[in-house]
Amino acid sequence: MITAERKPLEEILAYIKPFKRILLLGCNECVTVCAAGGRKEVGLLASALQMSRLKEGNSIDIREHTLERQCDPEYVEELVPMIDSADAVLSMACGCGVQQLAMRFKEKPVFPAVNTKFMGGSERHGVWTERCQGCGDCLLGLTGGICPIAKCAKQLMNGPCGGSANGVCEISDDVECAWHLIWERLKALGLTDQYMEIMPAKDWRPAGGGGPRKIIREDLAE
């Protein structure tokens, strides 16, 4: 999923300072899973904003609503009846959702309440780690299912580097050396010969090096 973390309250308050009526929107997908912007977090933020503004003597009207997703126009359309009664929109969705709102409601100020972080998965409840950087040319089949681009601090395709020690990356004891993990996997799979193959220099175009990316499915798009 896409992970995110709530922005500091101070920053959010600064965005909405001039506004009296806010539509606070959560998203029921990724940000719910990583406990950053789902229904519950919307409730917490609404309460926190109410109390902060009360303290300043600048009361605020907050309407809370959570969409199934904020990255699809069909769901965002549901907001049409609610939008006029808001001076601004505060979204707890990832950057994709925030932008979808801004595209649909061109006259309405839209602000992000979370910082979108990375594409990742759960290690265990409450811990999420980066797993994918969307390089557009997945090589997980060659590295025992572990991504050197997302998980190696230097995105080495022929690692490890000389800084790998005790299975840990040179940048921190908390970061596992991706190539150590890949090597262990290749061993477990009996594919150690594969290690000797040199991965040639990567074409970064599918990874965004060719500009902002787009997918068009001819069979689906009208």
Partner 1 sequence: MKTQSNLEKVLAAGHLAVTSECGPPRGASAETVVEKAKYLEGVVDAVNITDNQTAMVRMSSFAGSVLVKQQGMHPLLQMVTRDRNRLAMQADILGAYALGIDTMLCLSGDHTKFGDHPMAANVHDIDSIQLIQMVKQMRDEAKFQGGADIKGVVPKMFIGAAANPFADPFELRVMRLAKKIAAGADFIQTQCIFNVEKFEKWMEGVRDMGLHKKCYIMAGITPMKSVGAARYMKNKVPGMDVPQELVERMGSVEKENQPEEGIAICLETIERLKKVEGVAGFHIMAIDWEEKVEEIVRRADLYPRPQV
Partner 2 sequence: MEQFEPVIVAFCCHYCAYTAADMAGSQRLVYPSNVKIIRVPCSGKVDSLHILKAFEKGADGVYVAGCLDGDCHFKNGNDKATRKVKHMMQYLEEIGIEPERLEMVKMSAGMGQRFAQVATEMTEKIRKLGPSPIKAAAA
Q: Does 50 sit near partner 2 (CB under 8 A)?
A: yes
Q: Does 33 bind partner 2 (CB under 8 A)?
A: no
Helical ranges in the chain per DSSP H:
9-16, 30-33, 39-56, 73-77, 80-83, 95-104, 148-151, 178-188
User: Judged by CB under 8 A, does residue 177 bind partner 1?
Assistant: yes
Size of the site for partner 2 (CB under 8 A): 15
Binds partner 1 by CB under 8 A, chosen from 1, 13, 35, 156: 156
Least distance to partner 2 from the beta carbon of 5, Å? 13
Binding flag, residue 54, partner 2 (CB under 8 A): yes
Residue number with CB closer to partner 1 (126 or 200): 200
If binding is defined by CB under 8 A, does position 1 make contact with partner 1? no
User: Is 43 one of the binding residues for partner 2 (CB under 8 A)?
Assistant: yes
Q: Is the dihedral of CA 90, 95, 96, 102 positive or negative?
A: positive
Considering CB under 8 A, how many residues would be counted as binding partner 1? 29
* Burial of 51 (C-beta count, 10 Å sphere; 0-12/13-18/19+): exposed
Residue by residue, DSSP assigns 182-203 as HHHHHHHTT-GGGGGSPPPPP-
Nearer to partner 2 (CB atom), residue 43 or residue 95: 43
Segment near partner 1 (CB under 8 A); pick from 22-30, 36-44, 137-145, 150-158:
150-158
User: Does residue number 167 form part of the binding site for partner 1 (CB under 8 A)?
Assistant: yes
Q: Is 51 in the site for partner 2 (CB under 8 A)?
A: yes
Q: Label residues 122-155 b or e (16+ Cβ within 10 Å = b).
A: eeeeeebeebeeebeeeeeeebbebbbbbbbebe
User: 67 near 76, Cβ under 8 Å?
Assistant: yes
Q: Which residues here bind partner 1, judged by CB under 8 A?
A: 153-167, 170-172, 177, 180, 183, 195-196, 198-202, 204
